[in-house]
Amino acid sequence: MGYVAVKGGTVAVENAEKLAKYFRLKGRSPVLKVEQIRDQLRFMVDRAMSEGSIYAPDLAAIAVKQAEGDPMEAAFILRAYRSTQPRDFYSLVGDTRQMRVIRRISATFKDVPGGQILGPTRDYTVRLLNYELAQETEEAARCFVDEFLSDILADEFQEPPIFPKIVDLLREQGLLKASPGLEMTKPDADITRDGLTFPATRAARLQVLARGETGGMVTLAYTTMRGYGNIHPTLGELRVGYLPLKIKHPAGHGELVVGEVLVTEAEVVSQSFVSEAGKGEGKPTFTIGYGLCFGQNEEKAIAMAILERAIDTREPQAPAQDEEFVLSHVDGIEAAGFTAHWKLPHYVTFQSELDRIRKSRTVKENGK
Amino acid sequence: MAVETTLAATKGNLLNFAFVDENTKREIRRKLLKAVAIPGYQVPFASRELPIARGWGTGGLQITMAIIGPDDILKVIDQGCDGVVNAVNLRNLLVKTTGVATTYRTEEATIIQTRHRIPEKALRNDQILVLQVPYPEPLRRVEPSEQVTRQMHGENDYSLAWLDLYERVVRWGEITIGSQYPVLVNGRYIMSPSPIPRWDLPKLNMAETLFLFGAGREKRIYALPPYTSVKPLEFEDYRFRVEDFSGKCCHRCGSTKSYLDETYNAAGGERFYTCSDSDFCDERLRNGKGKGSADA
Amino acid sequence: MNLAVDFDKQLVLYSQRTFRQILDCMARPGKVNWFQPFPASGSGFEADVSPYLLGLGYTLLDVEVGFYVFQQEQSRTGLAAALEFQTNSQVCSLAEADFIFMTSADEPESLANAKCGNLDYPDSGATVIIRIDYLSEERLPETVAGVQLELKGPGIFGKKALFVTGLTERHVRVLRDVNVEFPLGIDLILVCGGRLACIPRSVELNVRRN
């Protein structure tokens, strides 16, 4: 054993990387094209973008390929990429009423203005393993798409309906607090620049949750549904669609649309008692928990909305109501990185622990 | 849209000197100055994600990236050794983005980035030691909430920290803290020295070197200027003690005065000890000392 | 993996070298280091602005912080405009400023209104960059009138003498008052031409009478 390991370490690292590449390719199956991942594994791509905190479907598809499908690793790659990009502009506040909706449902009312639009979802399919997917041919795929499109008769095209927000309906009836206006040009916090401090502002909470890891957030939200906390939510509205992104025109006048991003938005409505200043009793109202994330990721958006609502309390009764507990632990890059770091050598600190344990035993045996 | 179009628009992946952009460096530089002005106090910073995982040295790395220049000579160690795989990885990233010269010899380095050890050889005033920190908050052992621990530091209320030490003595007859032993800095802030062994703590007190501490995942930076008082917490009757290596020596260079790693022979299974600090061990061998040498 | 690096050598390396000098001074209060003037001064409004102040500003300021310039700072508006242009930082009030630029001719008493941080976050206290007329670790020459400062504290072995013109007992009194509740306080960078020294809030500052 020796410091010949100095050279050995470099070689070991290089070989490990080569071996990982070999494991990806040794099956000699046709090499995956990035477009195939982008188009046919879109939930993986969406999740990588959402947790990587950067909207870039093609780059996310590369990251998914590079990570061999590991969603936390793909998000990590994108976060690191995001660090290299300059921040040139802040967008104007996005109004999801302007969303080009592809899916929109509400659980609060049987039917709602604009209608319940199921959109592309497998929620109502029966989850039987589909063996046909093993035989899918290029030709069959092409035929399906062509037929699907031709079935939509051109003269049946309609203007997409306007989808008013369910929460606006509730506001009109005085059941919800009025929303702040859309004049805000810059959020009061930017956790990617200032770091997170507690107590956190609403903007900071939402930023942390928006880039949080799906599994962790679903788990924490689940605890609140099962009695660890007192949130009884109803899904006011879930929207999936393309949100136009606008900035102030750099030359000074007006707005510029720079593109659109696919987002999932969830608004969860629950009861609360809002006491008026100075008076003891409260007026029951609804409050909203808000969830928004890149791509189509409905469980995350719903979990986000529930958690946002859950942590908005000064007296947490349960872990998922504790703002610091939730916000400190939902970042997947941090959680996975630290969980993985236990694989690093820790023999120096372990040696120190050994010393203490051996010493304490001696002390106990000798009665000091 | 074709993937090629997107890639052309992103102009590939050209990086700045030392990877992070200039404004990231500016923020870290400002925070470093404040950290130095308030020894032992943890300054929050934004902490960029890097291509190295959180928990694997991104804090130390960001500090190094913010201070390093083309004239520096860099040494990177983990557990005291330049060859441990993660040190190799970090060093590669820094070299590839700066072109800086590197060394395994402590005395040649101007910047040393380290995980879990301070080199045995006393560092000079023209050297900077950057330590990687997993847990910047020394009070986290006794209080999980950041809001509360920040208040404790602010109000100089360290009663819980002392109570923790006391309870350990009562239960075990010893202060049973191995590494990451809490220290009192400049008579004011209790600080975590990072997971260095107790062996290394005396090197921090009234040193000639500037020590910079980076916790990337927890997003904190702190510092020890030279000639600053750093005292491990202890009781009059239960004193701070370094690790005990009596009766043991490095099987390679014979040293009895360095922190030793306990290892088991991969083939035969028998136990032996080696210097944790690889350069210290190599230097002894270069200078003709070795096992059996009179001067151990 | 191939990593391709591309950057503005002049400005990136200037900031790095200048910062190392500042860091060394803040870690060793009273030590005087040399640094280079800002290499990219334009003409026009920047012509009267000290390239050394501009260099310090360029190294430390950006869009995330605000700064204030005292009245007597030569070409006051010039410095403010130059800093805003070069760094994207913005002028703000003294009470909000993260960085404060002043000269020895300015009245120091208003520093009582500078940001000192709070107990939870003492690091938000301001950094004051003060331009003085003479700065040296060595005794003042006979022809130069000035003052000997004595510094004690972290970063200093024993005591450190610093010889200055432009800082008086009045300044020292103000600084002591502002920094009386350590860890709250402000941190000082002294500049004279291309020389700089730092007095962090952790330092005990006195005027030495001979």
Size of interface A-B (CB pairs under 8 A): 182
Do residues B250 and B277 touch, judged by C-beta distance below 8 A? no
Q: How far apart are CA A217 and CA A197, in angstroms?
A: 20
Tokens, residue A208? 């942390």
Q: In CATH, what number is assigned to the domain containing residue C45?
A: 3.40.50.11310
Kindly determine whether residue C7 and residue B31, on different chains, have CB atoms separated by under 8 Å: no
Determine contact: A343 vs chain B, CB below 8 A.
Answer: no
Which among A38, A348, A360 has CB closest to B261?
A348
Cβ-defined contact of B85 to A9 (cutoff 8 Å): yes
* B52 lies within 8 A of chain C by CB: no
Classify residue C15: in a domain, yes or no. Answer: yes
Chain C positions touching B52 (Cβ under 8 A) are: none
Query: A93: which DSSP letter?
Result: P
Two structure tokens written together for A175 = 């059941």
User: In this structure, is residue C197 part of a structural domain?
Assistant: yes
- pLDDT score, position A78: 96
Ranking A49-53, A268-272, B89-93, C92-96 by mean pLDDT, the lowest is: A268-272
- Per mean pLDDT, which range of B186-195, B220-229, B279-288, C177-186 is the poorest? B279-288
Active site residue B40: yes
- Residue intervals of chain B classified under CATH 3.40.50.11310 are 22-232
Clarify whether residues A46 and A189 are in a common domain.
Answer: no
Confidence label for B8 from pLDDT (cuts 50, 70 and 90): confident
- Reported ipTM: 0.96
How does pLDDT run across B111-161, given as a tens digit for each residue? 999 999 999 999 999 999 999 999 999 999 899 999 999 999 999 999 999
Active-site residue B249, yes or no? yes
Range name among A266-275, A308-317, C131-140 with the lowest pLDDT average: A266-275
Q: Identify whether the C-beta of residue A75 lies closer than 8 Å to the C-beta of residue A56.
A: no
Taking an 8 Å cut-off on Cβ atoms, the answer to whether C12 and B16 are in contact is yes
Task: Suggest the residue from C10, C19, C184 to mutate for an interface test with chain B (most B CBs closer than 10 A).
Answer: C19
Minimal CA–CA distance to C199: which of C184, C177, C181, C179?
C179
A chain contacts of residue B92, beta-carbon cutoff 8 Å: 10
CB contact under 8 A, B188 and C65: no
Q: Is residue C152 part of a domain?
A: yes
- Chains sharing 3 or more CB pairs under 8 A with chain C: B
Position A9 scores a pLDDT of 72
Nearest to C22 by CA among C193, C153, C191: C191
CA-based nearest distance B274→chain C, Å: 34
Of B60, B81, B216, B253, catalytic? B253
Evaluate whether B72 touches B111 at the Cβ level (below 8 Å): yes
The answer to whether A48 touches A71, Cβ cutoff 8 Å, is yes
Is A19 within the bounds of a domain?
yes
User: Does residue B12 sit at the C interface (CB-CB below 8 Å)?
Assistant: yes
Q: How confident is the model at residue A162 (pLDDT cuts 50, 70, 90)?
A: confident
Element spanning A305, H or E: helix A298-310
With cut-offs at 50, 70 and 90, classify the pLDDT of residue A5: very low
Name residue, tokens 């009764």: A317
| pLDDT above 90 coverage of chain A, percent | 56
Q: Which of B26, B37, B155 sits opposite C62 (nearest CB)?
A: B26
pLDDT in the model for residue B85: 83
For residue C77, the model assigns a pLDDT of 62
A173-182 contact pairs (CB < 8 A, 24+): A175/A285, A175/A286, A176/A269, A176/A285, A176/A286, A176/A287, A176/A288, A177/A274, A177/A285, A177/A287, A182/A93, A182/A95
* Neighbouring C-beta atoms of residue B255, cutoff 10 Å: 26
Q: Is residue C4 part of a domain?
A: no
Kindly report, residue by residue over B149-168, the tens digit of the pLDDT. Answer: 999 999 999 999 999 999 99
In DSSP notation, B144-191 reads --HHHHHHHHHTT--HHHHHHHHHHHHHHSS----SS--EEETTTEEE
The predicted pLDDT at position C47 comes to 67
Tell me if chain A has a CB within 8 Å of the CB of B102: no
Give the least confident one: A49-58, A197-206, B106-115, B183-192.
A197-206
Closest CA to A4 of B288, B265, B278: B278
| For chain B, percent of residues with pLDDT exceeding 90 | 76
The total domain count for chain A is 2
A37 within 8 A of B115, measured Cβ to Cβ: no
Contact B97 C120 (CB under 8 A): no
| CA dihedral sign, ordered B11, B17, B20, B22 | negative
The C-alpha atoms of residue B55 and residue A336 are separated, in whole angstroms, by 9
What is the predicted pLDDT for the residue at A156?
Answer: 76
In Å, how far is B224's CA from the nearest CA of chain A? 22
Whether pLDDT at A324 is above 80: yes
B13 contacts A84 by C-beta, under 8 angstroms: yes
Instruction: Give which of A177, A167, A172 is closest to A267, Cα–Cα.
Output: A167
**Contact of A187 with A210, CB cutoff 8 Å:** no
Write down the pLDDT at residue B34. Answer: 98
C183 cis-preceded (ω within 30 degrees of 0)? yes
pLDDT for A182 equals 53
Task: Kindly state whether residue A339 falls inside one of the protein's structural domains.
Answer: no
- Give C29-43 pLDDT, tens digit per residue: 999 999 999 987 655
For residues B183 and B105, give the distance between their C-alpha atoms in angstroms, rounded to a whole number: 29
**A72 and A163 in contact (C-beta within 8 Å)?**
no
> Are A123 and A239 in a shared domain?
yes
Are residues A303 and A270 part of one domain? yes
In a domain, A365, yes or no: no
Cβ neighbours of residue B294 closer than 8 Å, sequence gap 6 or more: none
Residue pLDDT, tens place only, A166-188 = 888 888 888 887 665 555 556 77
Residues A109 and A222 in one domain: yes
Identify the three-state secondary structure at position C90. Answer: strand
Contact B227 C182 (CB under 8 A): no
pLDDT at C75: 58
Of the residues B80, B249, B250, B254, which is catalytic?
Answer: B249
Whether residue A123 is found in the same domain as residue A56: no
| Dihedral sign for Cα atoms in the order B42, B43, B47, B51 | negative
Closest residue of chain B to C2, computed from CA coordinates: B96
User: What kind of fold does domain B22-232 have according to CATH?
Assistant: Rossmann fold (3.40.50)
Domain range for C150 is 9-208
Query: Annotated catalytic, B253?
Result: yes
Q: How far apart are CA C125 and CA C182, in angstroms?
A: 11
Residue B147 · residue A324 · CB < 8 Å = yes
What residues make up the domain containing A24? 5-83
**Residues B103 and B72 sit within 8 Å (Cβ to Cβ):** no
| Identity of the residue in A7, A193, A351 whose CB atom sits nearest the CB atom of B243 | A351
- Domain tally for chain C? 1
pLDDT at B267: 83
Instruction: Specify the pTM.
Output: 0.90
Q: What gap in Å lies between CA B192 and CA B133, rounded to an integer?
A: 9
The residue type at C5 = V
Listed by number, the residues of chain B in 32-91 with a beta carbon closer than 8 Å to a beta carbon of chain A are: 44-51, 53-56, 78-89
The region of weakest confidence among B52-56, B193-197, C110-114 is B52-56
Does position C176 have pLDDT exceeding 80, yes or no? yes
Q: Are A202 and A184 in contact (CB under 8 A)?
A: no
- Cβ distance of B226 and C155 shorter than 8 Å: yes
Give CB contacts under 8 A, 24+ apart, made by A220-224.
A220/A303, A220/A307, A220/A319, A220/A320, A220/A326, A220/A330, A221/A302, A221/A303, A221/A304, A221/A306, A221/A307, A221/A310, A221/A320, A222/A303, A223/A318, A223/A319, A223/A320, A224/A306, A224/A307, A224/A310, A224/A318, A224/A320, A224/A321
Q: Rounded to 5 degrees, what are φ and ψ at C175?
A: -60, -45
